[in-house]
Amino acid sequence: MKTVIESVPNISEGRNSEAVSEIAAAVRAAPGVRLLDVSSDAAHNRSVLTFVADETGVRQGVRALFDAAVPRIDLTRHSGEHPRMGAVDVVPIIPIRGATVEQCVALSREIGAEIAERHGIPVYLYEDSATSERRRNLAAIRKGEFEGFAEKIRAPEWKPDFGPDAPHPTAGVVAVGARPPLIAYNINLGTRDLAVADRIARAIRHLGGGFRYVKALPVELAERGEVQVSINMTNFRKSPLHRVFECVKSEAERHGVAIVGSEIVGLAPAEALLMAAEHYLRLERLSAEQVLEMRLLEE
Amino acid sequence: MKTVIESVPNISEGRNSEAVSEIAAAVRAAPGVRLLDVSSDAAHNRSVLTFVADETGVRQGVRALFDAAVPRIDLTRHSGEHPRMGAVDVVPIIPIRGATVEQCVALSREIGAEIAERHGIPVYLYEDSATSERRRNLAAIRKGEFEGFAEKIRAPEWKPDFGPDAPHPTAGVVAVGARPPLIAYNINLGTRDLAVADRIARAIRHLGGGFRYVKALPVELAERGEVQVSINMTNFRKSPLHRVFECVKSEAERHGVAIVGSEIVGLAPAEALLMAAEHYLRLERLSAEQVLEMRLLEE
């Protein structure tokens, strides 16, 4: 697979496992699609599907997803802890290799137009695909949720990018957009003092003056007798893992605390880890061409 | 490709580019084979082919290689700087993923038996496939070269593992065996003093008391005004890149010298670099499953 694009659609169903299985099976059966993961959360009443494909495959996978999800998920009867506005709530389109952000933005527009036409669902383009600054942020679009959209959608600033000016009666609205890969990266500290993790989280996150593409929160790991800086890396190419790690290490040392370990939760692109190897080994040049497995993916 | 086995056969032809192309084309056309690289050296009069495949594919690739190379390479008329004993001189069988050393040893035996039967070429099993300690070392097998084998092969300790007790009249003999991936890794030092590189090379290499799977030599980089520790890593799983790098760094500091950079020459398995990322980021667990591209290779 020369071009690898990832999509991690979130659907508003995490309790009816039969419905989730049927939707996942439809995506898996789409030509050119490799479904890598399906995770359901009953409290959130939400599931996340992870699949990869080339451009054509992503289009087919998203089409199969909507065709299966729209008749099976009724938001008028949906409750859960996670905010949601659509049966399919959000469809991120993520360049991994052999595809640019621009190509993924163009792809998200094509997909958005098709969803609107095929299902009569209003579509908002978000993140790198956003048509205005306020639409970059998914939380801003989703505010008011499914129940509030009948009203919200009538405001001129919330006119959808594609589709009708009224939410779909059972499927609501959806956000579609290109964004960089997200990496969930946690660093564990050798102390029980949550205040240390809190100060470090504040130091490294964008909101507190830290790295632009870093979100971070302190977490207690009572059973380990440790605390954790729980990190969401929203653009590892610009705010890389190794730079954030070294910053956490230096801040922790200032408190007399050591880093015990770290973990990546879920999937990460090889590039994120190869960048760390390149940094620490001071590699002058390391092309993906030189990594045997990356060569195998090229053909 | 679930199982990835690499083979890097060396053939005794590096000047007749038509012959090399024809041999490479035959390997490329073998079912299930991905030919990744062909490098010829005219002074050595030798070429190295790199291909990957699963077990069946490796068998087919090696068969195609011999079928094309034996009629095209005549060792009675061969000269070059590199020692050689066969038209196809050596066939390493290298487990990359989804295959054990034991499987590659078994595969090398099957391949050896087939070469002997199909072409009447004596076969020596070497490295992990060796049937006696003295046959582990390729240089020990090759000693005497093509010209000396008519005599050498009659000694009981050099009876071939497969095939006749006389070298093939034009194709000589061949070594086949399983071994770990080799990585060529060079570290550049911010000094013109070759003695520093020499002392570090001696410190890290097995011969001098250093890492078991490390060979190292000092090299002058006159045009850069630097010197280099040129390293062959013969088993990166047991003597990993990051450990060798840190040892070179510490030895260089003792001489007041900094590491300017490093480079990997040619191909390396992803695992070698992921191990470095895992070490420096103190990852508590990183499974290949979590690396998106590795997941794509699994299916």
> B15 and B119: one domain?
yes
Nearest CA to B162 out of B152, B171, B173, B148 is that of B173
B32-39 mean pLDDT: 94
Q: Is A53 helix (H, G, I), strand (E, B) or coil?
A: strand
Report yes or no on B204 lying in a domain.
Answer: yes
For residue B1, pLDDT over 90 is answered with no
* Residue B95, domain member (yes or no): yes
- Report the residue of chain B nearest A34, measured CA to CA: B296
**DSSP string of A114-144, one letter each residue:** HHHHHH---EEE-GGG-SSGGGS-HHHHHTT
- Do B168 and B189 lie in one domain? The reply is no
Start-to-end C-alpha separation, chain B: 6
In this structure, is residue B166 part of a structural domain?
yes
CA dihedral A5, A44, B287, A297 (to 10 degrees): -10
Same structural domain, B160 and B23: yes
Residue B40 covered by a domain: yes
Residues of chain A with pLDDT under 70: 1, 299
Same domain, B23 and B160: yes
How far apart (Å, rounded) are the C-alpha atoms in residues B256 and B76? 53
Q: Which residues of A are catalytic?
A: 82
Q: Which of A158, A178, A198 is the last residue of a domain?
A: A178
Whether B17 maps to a domain, the answer reads: yes
For B155, the enclosing helix (H) or strand (E) is none
Query: B297 touching A, CB under 8 A?
Result: yes
* B258 and A CB contact within 8 Å: no
Residue A137, token pair as written in the block: 């942020």
Q: For residue B166, what pLDDT is reported?
A: 97
- Considering the domain architecture, whether residues B120 and B100 belong to the same structural domain is answered as yes
Contact A284 B188 (CB under 8 A): yes
CB contact under 8 A, B274 and A269: no
Per-residue pLDDT reduced to its tens digit, A30-87: 999 999 999 999 999 999 999 999 999 999 999 999 999 999 999 999 999 899 999 9
Residues A215 and A234: beta-carbon distance below 8 Å: yes
Mean pLDDT, range B96-125, rounded to an integer:
97
CATH number, domain of A113, equals: 3.30.990.10
Number of domains in chain A: 2
Residue B292 to residue A264, Cβ atoms within 8 A: no
Does the pLDDT at position B84 exceed 80? yes
Q: Which domain holds residue B173?
A: 4-178
If asked whether residues B195 and B172 sit together in one domain, one would say: no
Asked if residues A159 and A153 have their Cβ atoms less than 8 Å apart, the reply is yes
Complex ipTM: 0.85
Look up residue A286 and give its amino acid.
L
> Is B276 in the A-facing interface, judged by CB distances under 8 Å?
yes
Cβ-contact A22, A8 below 8 angstroms: no
- Provide the CATH number for the domain around residue B283: 3.30.70.670
Query: Is residue B299 predicted with pLDDT exceeding 70?
Result: no
- Regarding whether A152 and A206 lie in a shared domain, the answer is no
The shortest CB-CB distance from B268 to any of A4, A280, A291 is to A291
Same domain, B153 and B253: no
- Shared domain check, B144 and B110: yes
Q: Which tokens is B229 given? A: 């520790």
Within this chain, do residues B80 and B125 fall inside the same structural domain, yes or no? Answer: yes
Strand A10-11 relative to strand A46-53, pairing: antiparallel
Distance from CA of A140 to the nearest CA of B (A): 30
In a domain? residue B39? yes
Q: Which two tokens stand for residue A7?
A: 């999509």
Which residue in the set B34, B261, B294 is minimally distant from A282, CB to CB?
A: B261
Indicate if the pLDDT at residue B163 is higher than 90: yes
CB distance from A299 to chain B under 8 Å?
yes
Q: Which residues of B are catalytic?
A: 82
DSSP letters for B220-261: EEGGGTEEEEEEEES-TTTS-HHHHHHHHHHHHHHTT--EEE
Surface of B (149-208) touching A: CB under 8 A: 188
Residue that finishes a domain, picked among A152, A178, A204 = A178
Taking a C-beta distance cutoff of 8 angstroms, is the pair A290, B290 a contact? no
Residue range B182-208, pLDDT digits in tens? 999 999 999 999 999 999 999 999 999
Confidence of residue B38 (pLDDT cuts 50, 70, 90): very high
A242 to B280: CB separation less than 8 angstroms, yes or no: yes
Does residue B122 share a domain with residue B251?
Answer: no
Strands A123-125 and A174-178, sheet pairing: parallel
| Residue B299 resides in a domain | no
Residue B274 with chain A: CB contacts under 8 Å: 270, 273-274, 277
Cβ–Cβ gap A242/B281 under 8 Å: yes
Inter-chain CB proximity B293 and A34 less than 8 Å: no
Q: Which chain B residues contact residue A280 at CB under 8 A?
A: 242, 245, 276-277, 279-280
Decide which of A149, A178, A207 is a domain's last residue.
A178
Q: Assess whether A61 and A201 both reside in one domain.
A: no
CA B96-B101-B106 angle, to 5 degrees, is 115
Structural tokens at position A171:
């499927």
A243 in contact with B at a CB cutoff of 8 Å? Answer: no
For chain A, the average pLDDT equals 95
Q: Kindly determine whether residue B284 and residue A290, on different chains, have CB atoms separated by under 8 Å.
A: no
Residue A192 φ/ψ, nearest 5 degrees? -95, 0
Determine, yes or no, domain membership for B226: yes
Instruction: List, as ranges, residues 97-116 from A with C-beta within 8 Å of B.
Output: 97
Q: What is the mean pLDDT of chain B?
A: 95
B292 touches chain A (CB under 8 A): yes
